[in-house]
Structure 1
Amino acid sequence: MCADMFEETWLTKPYAEIVDIAGRNGSILMVPVGSLEQHGRHLPTGTDTILATAAARAGTDRLDDDVPVLLAPPIWAGYSPHHLPFGGTITVEHDTFIDTITDIVDSAANSGFDAVTFVNGHGGNKSLLSTAVSVAGGEHPEMELSTFLYLDLLGSDVEDIKQSDVPGVHGGELETSLMLSIRPDLVDEDSVSTTPQHEPYDRAGADLLNGGPVTVYRSFDEYTETGTLGEPAAASAATGERTLELVGEEIATVLESIHEHVRTIDS
Structure 2
Amino acid sequence: MIYDSIGATDSEWAGKPYAAIRDTAEEDGSVLVVPVGSIEQHGHHLPVATDTILVDAVVHGGSEQVGADVPVLVTPPVWTGFSPHHLPFGGTLSLEFDHLRALLEDVALTGVENGFDAVCFVNGHGGNAALIDAVVSTVGTSTDAEVLGTTYFTLATDEIESLRDSETGGMAHGGEYETSLMLHLRPDLVADDDVRDGTVWDEHYDWGGSDLLDAGPLSVYRSFDQYSDSGAIGSPELASAEKGASIYDVVTSELAALLVAIHEHNA
TM-score bracket, shorter-length normalisation = over 0.9
Q: 1:169 to 1:6 in 2, by over 3 A?
A: farther
Question: 1:145 and 1:19 mapped to 2: Cα distance?
Answer: 19
2:159 aligned residue: 157
Instruction: Report the CA distance between 1:225 and its aligned residue.
Output: 0.6
1:199 aligned residue: 203
2:146 aligned residue: 144
**TM-score under structure 1 length normalisation:** 0.95
1:237 aligned residue: 241
The residue identity in structure 2 corresponding to 1:227 is G
2:181 aligned residue: 178
State whether residues 166 and 231 of structure 1, in contact with CA within 8 Å, keep that contact through their aligned partners in structure 2: no
Instruction: Report the CA distance between 1:64 and its aligned residue.
Output: 1.1
State whether residues 62 and 249 of structure 1, in contact with CA within 8 Å, keep that contact through their aligned partners in structure 2: yes
How many residues are paired up? 262
State whether residues 178 and 243 of structure 1, in contact with CA within 8 Å, keep that contact through their aligned partners in structure 2: yes
State whether residues 166 and 196 of structure 1, in contact with CA within 8 Å, keep that contact through their aligned partners in structure 2: no
* More displaced 10-residue stretch of structure 1: 216-225 or 46-55: 216-225
Instruction: Report the CA distance between 1:49 and its aligned residue.
Output: 0.2
Alignment of 1:6 with 2:33, yes or no, is: no
Question: 1:21 and 1:128 mapped to 2: Cα distance?
Answer: 28
1:15 aligned residue: 18
State whether residues 44 and 187 of structure 1, in contact with CA within 8 Å, keep that contact through their aligned partners in structure 2: yes
Alignment of 1:37 with 2:40, yes or no, is: yes
**TM-score under structure 2 length normalisation:** 0.95
Instruction: Report the CA distance between 1:105 and its aligned residue.
Output: 1.4
Matches within 5 A, 1:1-267: 1=1, 4-7=4-7, 8=9, 9-140=12-143, 142-165=144-167, 167=169, 168-189=171-192, 190-263=194-267
Instruction: Report the CA distance between 1:232 and its aligned residue.
Output: 0.4
Alignment gaps of 5+ in structure 1: none
The residue identity in structure 1 corresponding to 2:20 is E
Question: 1:100 and 1:213 mapped to 2: Cα distance?
Answer: 28
Q: Identical aligned pairs, as a percentage?
A: 47
SS state of the match for residue 205, structure 1? coil
Instruction: Report the CA distance between 1:5 and its aligned residue.
Output: 3.9
Structure (1/2) with the larger helix percentage: 1
Question: 2:3 and 2:137 mapped to 1: Cα distance?
Answer: 34
* More displaced 10-residue stretch of structure 1: 2-11 or 233-242: 2-11
Question: 2:243 and 2:186 mapped to 1: Cα distance?
Answer: 14
The residue identity in structure 1 corresponding to 2:260 is E
Question: 1:213 and 1:164 mapped to 2: Cα distance?
Answer: 22
Instruction: Report the CA distance between 1:2 and its aligned residue.
Output: 5.1
The two structures, once aligned, show a CA RMSD in angstroms of 1.2
Instruction: Report the CA distance between 1:37 and its aligned residue.
Output: 0.3
Instruction: Report the CA distance between 1:106 and its aligned residue.
Output: 1.3
State whether residues 80 and 95 of structure 2, in contact with CA within 8 Å, keep that contact through their aligned partners in structure 1: yes
Instruction: Report the CA distance between 1:238 and its aligned residue.
Output: 0.5
The residue identity in structure 2 corresponding to 1:238 is E
The residue identity in structure 2 corresponding to 1:211 is A
Question: 2:209 and 2:73 mapped to 1: Cα distance?
Answer: 36
Instruction: Report the CA distance between 1:166 and its aligned residue.
Output: 5.2
